[in-house]
Amino acid sequence: MANKRTQSRDRIIGARLRAIRKEQAKLSLEAAASAAQWAPARLSRTENGQRQITIAEVATLLTVYRVPVAEREEVISQLHEGQAWWDRGIPGIQAETGALASYESDAIELVDVSMLAVPGLLQTYETAMAIMAAGFTRPEDIEPRWAARQRRQQVLGTVDYTTYIGEIALHTPFGGPDALRAQLEHLASAPARGIGVRIVPARQTRVFILDTWMWMRFANTEPVVCVEMTSGAQFLHEKDAEPYARTLAALDQLALSVAASRNLIAELLEGRR
């Protein structure tokens, strides 16, 4: 059975093949399946990431779609060489972390929503250590998970990223007062790195958010939402992800602007709040 890392890659590859079929080859699903000598159901399941696809099958479809040789070789090369750290599996790292990293690497927009703590992509070392310990992560797994989190953080600067953080997170000293100050300084400098940090005011009653989650948008497939859970994470697709888009629209109206959020963080650092 495919694990979650493989499933996420299959969805992304399938979406890319669907885009090539529709936008470049201009073929219906039935015509493409006939040309490839596949059953239409097989091609449909491939495009929807519901089956594992081999490199040989990708090559077959690209040939059927008359993709130029240079582009075809580039795609195949990426698949051959594209086994990233999250595809290999690392002891102590949850499978969901690998799947999330895979999605993040292919997304064109990421939006983090976290009311009680700074989201993982923006955590400093001390904050991350304290949060994982508070979440009862096994001591021997904490450093490997931090290493994986650091690798995930490398996506920042390569993708449109915004985070909505609850104001209470700015006052919760995970790791102690010095760690909190270092974390606030890290957040204060984020906009200069092209990162949108928006604070959701405390004591607001307009939007109720129970979970920590990330909304991910892609070029050729529908958005995916990753909801964090104590036991790992749950990935939501299509209709299951739609309510989160509505929540983001409400947060956009409710949260402080990037500039106002930066000013709030600066006031905390200066002791004026």
The pLDDT confidence band at residue 92, using thresholds 50, 70 and 90, is low
CB atoms within 10 A of CB 169: 21
Strands 160-166 and 109-114: parallel
* CA separation for the pair 181, 118 (Å, rounded): 13
Residue 91: pLDDT over 70: no
**Residue entry with tokens 């040939």:** 63
What average pLDDT score do residues 10-27 get?
83
Using the predicted structure, report yes or no on whether residue 1 has a pLDDT greater than 50: no
Residue 99's Cβ-side half-sphere holds a number of Cα atoms within 13 Å equal to 23
Q: What is the pLDDT of residues 124-159, one digit of tens each?
A: 999 999 999 999 988 988 988 898 899 899 999 999
Structural domains in the chain?
4-82 (1.10.260.40), 86-269 (3.30.870)
What percentage of the chain reaches a pLDDT higher than 70?
Answer: 90
> Averaged over 56-62, what is the pLDDT?
89
pTM: 0.74
Q: What is the pLDDT of residue 257?
A: 97
Grade residue 72 by pLDDT with cuts at 50, 70 and 90. confident
Give the integer Cα–Cα distance in Å for 152 and 232: 16
**Segments of 117-205 assigned E as strands:** 160-166, 196-200
Question: Please, what is the Cα angle at 155 between 220 and 202, to 5 degrees?
Answer: 95
Rounded distance, CA 142 to CA 250, Å?
Answer: 35
Please state, rounded to an integer, the average pLDDT across all residues of the chain: 88
Segment of 35-39, 79-83, 227-231 carrying the highest mean pLDDT: 35-39
In a 10 Å sphere around its CB, with 0-12 CB exposed, 13-18 middle and 19+ buried, how is residue 126 labelled?
A: middle
